[in-house]
Structure 1
Amino acid sequence: MLDILLAILVTLGAYRLAIYAGRRSRHIQPVVVATICTWVIWWLISGDWESYQMGGEWISYWVGPATVALAVPLAKQMRVFSDIWRGVLLGVAAGCLVAITTVLGIGWLFGMDEVLTKSMLTKSVTTPIAVELTKNIGGVPALAAFFVALTGIAGVAMARPLLSLFGVKDDWAIGIAVGTSAHAIGTASLNRVSQVQTAASSVAMIVAGIVTAICVIPFSF
């Protein structure tokens, strides 16, 4: 029980440290910093990853409510969304199809195991949805959660430089791109930048979950 409590405290402490570092420099990605700090600290003081996983489950329980809370910025932007919803749906759907097709292409190119491929198909949707979808199509939920986290972290680190490179400056365009590719992790990272981007990302994350669920139906047979 003490190890579980310690795991929770280490995770929260690393998170606070990452937030502080992110406020000091906009080039620092809190998600990446928190992940690295948590791994290093836990490896130094314990190294018992089974105990850490048990503690992590307590934190994971709140992922669902936290994801729902991201809808608050969206409620403030509903008037704008009502004018552009067709373009948003089309963009998110295209992004989801690219994400799934890319996984299938990589799986075919490298001859990946079918179970591994199925576990990667849901990498661009938020964890609660990804885990349930992966169960239904015969993948490994634990692997799916790993790929979701990895995708989110990579998305947060790469999204802004890539969007700047291609001259994307519109808040809704940025939010849609991040929400479609980096789900809740990406959406949370935008919350300290722009409420409009957060709202757009929340929409994209929700729609991406629905579109992905529809697209992976054939893999459940």
Structure 2
Amino acid sequence: MTEYLSIVINFPLFGVLITVAAFYLGQRLYARSNRHPVLQPVVIGMAAVISTVLMLRVPYESYYESSYLLHAMLGPATVALAIPLFQHARRIRDLLLPIICTVLVGGAFTVGVALLILWMLDANLSTMLSMPTKSITTPIAMIVTEQLGGIPALSAMFVLLTGAVGAMIGIPLMNRMGIKDDGVKGFTMGLTSHALGTARALEESAECGAFSALAMSMTGVMTAVLIPIIAAWLL
């Protein structure tokens, strides 16, 4: 049994297989639950992959190397987000000024509230410096956090939690608030919940996904440029 397990683990595409299988499991559970917000496919898939890797005691480096095909597809998948953006370019141009203002104000507000909560909890400086990047994608967040003097691994955890919670409760919460405009829903998801929120927004409609992708991109750029400048001024 151990020999067979070793063969499976050392299979060059082991990471790809368990990742795809985990996401498929998440999709099935999501569909069977009538799209229950807690059972988001990305969140379930992520939990399944982590559980499998831990139970089989597979080193993270081995899993990462064996899922190289998925890493190679991240670039084209990100570029593909430009398709819904192009399809809704006219409305985006019409709303350009409100969009820019929303990114600046909304981004600053989310960071400010997060830092205020940590300050009230008497968190140390390293933890506080790891929080401001919580609403952008992991690669950018870890780089910016390292520049600030924070803890990149902790920043990645904040990003993961923010995206997972946003993907689960964002759309249902806005529906309860009576927000019906897909552009508003999408932009809110991208602004607060980055890639996981965008994946959820794409389930709603192409317009929702387009505005979410736009907000995610703009928030990432704004955070990467402005937060180090503000931190240098304050610290």
Task: Give yes or no for TM over 0.5.
Answer: yes
Q: Which residue of 2 aligns with 1:19?
A: 27
TM-score, with normalisation over the residues of structure 1? 0.88
| AA at the equivalent of 1:98 | F
Equivalent of residue 73 in structure 1, options 73, 78, 84: 84
Aligned partners of 2:68 and 2:113: how far apart in 1? 30
Compared with structure 1, are the counterparts of its residues 53 and 144 closer, same or farther at alpha carbon in structure 2 (3 Å cutoff)? farther
The answer to whether the aligner puts 1:219 opposite 2:231 as a matched pair is yes
- 8 A contact 2:13–2:67 mirrored in 1: no
Q: Residue deviations 1:81-139, cap 9 Å, x none?
A: 11111112222222211111022112211121211211121010112221221122112
- 8 A contact 1:7–1:42 mirrored in 2: no
Identity %: 34
Q: Which residue of 1 aligns with 2:204?
A: 193
Aligned partners of 2:75 and 2:157: how far apart in 1? 17
- Report the aligned-residue RMSD: 2.3
Name whichever of 147-156 and 4-13 sits farther off. Answer: 4-13
Name whichever of 107-116 and 191-200 sits farther off. Answer: 107-116
Equivalent of residue 14 in structure 2, options 6, 15, 19: 6
The answer to whether the aligner puts 1:34 opposite 2:45 as a matched pair is yes
Equivalent of residue 152 in structure 2, options 141, 149, 168: 141
Q: Residue deviations 1:173-217, cap 9 Å, x none?
A: 100110000011111122222000000101111111122224312
TM-score, with normalisation over the residues of structure 2? 0.83
Compared with structure 1, are the counterparts of its residues 64 and 103 closer, same or farther at alpha carbon in structure 2 (3 Å cutoff)? farther
Q: Matched residue of 2:123: which SS?
A: coil
| AA at the equivalent of 1:20 | R
Q: Which residue of 2 aligns with 1:96?
A: 107
Name whichever of 191-200 and 127-136 sits farther off. Answer: 127-136
Aligned partners of 1:112 and 1:191: how far apart in 2? 36
**Superposition pairs for residues 172-191 of structure 1, below 5 Å?**
172-191=183-202
Compared with structure 1, are the counterparts of its residues 2 and 148 closer, same or farther at alpha carbon in structure 2 (3 Å cutoff)? same
| Number of residues of Structure 1 aligned to a counterpart in Structure 2 | 221
| AA at the equivalent of 1:166 | M
Q: Matched residue of 1:216: which SS?
A: helix
Equivalent of residue 205 in structure 1, options 216, 220, 226: 216
Name whichever of 179-188 and 111-120 sits farther off. Answer: 111-120
Higher RCO (CA-CA < 8 Å; seq separation 6+): 1
Q: Residue deviations 1:26-81, cap 9 Å, x none?
A: 22311221122222333333364554455567745654543332222111100111
Gaps of 5+ in 2: 1-8
Greater radius of gyration (CA) = 2
The answer to whether the aligner puts 1:162 opposite 2:173 as a matched pair is yes
Aligned partners of 2:88 and 2:118: how far apart in 1? 39
| AA at the equivalent of 1:171 | D
Compared with structure 1, are the counterparts of its residues 68 and 111 closer, same or farther at alpha carbon in structure 2 (3 Å cutoff)? farther
- 8 A contact 1:4–1:51 mirrored in 2: no
Compared with structure 1, are the counterparts of its residues 216 and 60 closer, same or farther at alpha carbon in structure 2 (3 Å cutoff)? farther
